[in-house]
Structure 1
Amino acid sequence: MKRTVSVLIAGILGATLTGVSPASAATSPIDCSSGEYTRIRESFVPTNVERPAVDGFAYRFGGPSPTTYEVCLDVPDGSTFTIEVRSWSNGSPDETFVDDRPGDKVFRYSLGANSFWQIYGTLTGPDSTFLYYTWHEKKIAA
């Protein structure tokens, strides 16, 4: 009995620390592994805090042609990862794209020629926790 209780407590504690949800929780129908993404980044963020560079870049710079990116974001079940793309193009005012749908998601954003941008994110979850996510990205024809 003592061994069973220790294993049970260790299993519960491990699931709590890693942000794992129960096996019976609903999973997302989105499958990021099937999108032929050319860049995959696994990372983590503290919950409920806006963070820059959730795509792994402090700033990104575009080329002379307009560009469109497709992103598939794999987040823990039951969480919401709000994504905000802030871009500037040829001195024009800020353009902002926001996607705050809950759970895994696929989204696209387009940028003008000679632009630069930053991507911010806020992942909801229990306070004082780090949650892991996977960012899948590819450039597509604009």
Structure 2
Amino acid sequence: MKRTIPVLAAVAGVLGATLTGTAPASAAGAVDCNSPEYTRVLETYIPTNIQRPAVDGRQYNINGPDAFTYQVCVDIPDTSTFTIEVRDWAPNGGPQTVWTDDRPGDKVFRFPAGANHFWQVYGTMTGPGSTYITYKWAEKRLPA
């Protein structure tokens, strides 16, 4: 599932990441989700062409008193696109913030989790209709 990202796609990924507040795909080309730096790894499957909640393996995420940034590596089939949407709610009825990454293929992206925030992660995997596609979700938590 590893692949080299063409220069044009890398530039588009950097521009798209800048606009959506996510990190671009690895500048070196291939994305390595097998690195031991990732402290939580989920290998599972998802039905194609339907938005699903909990693609990070958790139905709900609630942060404690400290803010963090999550770095996520997603390894998918080369012919698919996995659109990730993180919906974050501030405490006490504060505003909702949404981060979206819809770059094709394997990717690395980051999103912040504020102190006492609640968030959910949704995803849509493209592919042939009525099938399930496997993916790897690897993440690590960084200081805010």
Larger Rg: 1
Q: C-alpha distance in 1, partners of 2:131/2:107?
A: 22
Q: How does 1:7-86 map to 2 (within 5 A)?
A: 27-28=3-4, 29-34=30-35, 36-86=37-87
Give the paired residue count: 118
Percent of residue pairs bearing the same amino acid type: 57
Q: CA RMSD in A?
A: 1.4
Structure 2 residue runs of 5 or longer lacking an equivalent are 5-29
Q: C-alpha distance in 1, partners of 2:3/2:107?
A: 12
Q: C-alpha distance in 1, partners of 2:143/2:111?
A: 12
- Moved segments of 4+, more than 2 Å: none
Q: C-alpha distance in 2, partners of 1:35/1:102?
A: 24
Q: Secondary structure at the match of 2:123?
A: strand
Which has more helix, going by share of residues?
1
Residue 135 of structure 1 corresponds to which residue in structure 2? Answer: 137
Q: C-alpha distance in 2, partners of 1:35/1:88?
A: 30
Encode CA deviations 1:32-84: one digit per residue, 9 max, x unaligned. 11261000001101000000000011101001111110000000111100000
Q: C-alpha distance in 2, partners of 1:27/1:88?
A: 34
Q: Are 2:67 and 2:143, in contact at CA under 8 Å, matched by a contact in 1?
A: no
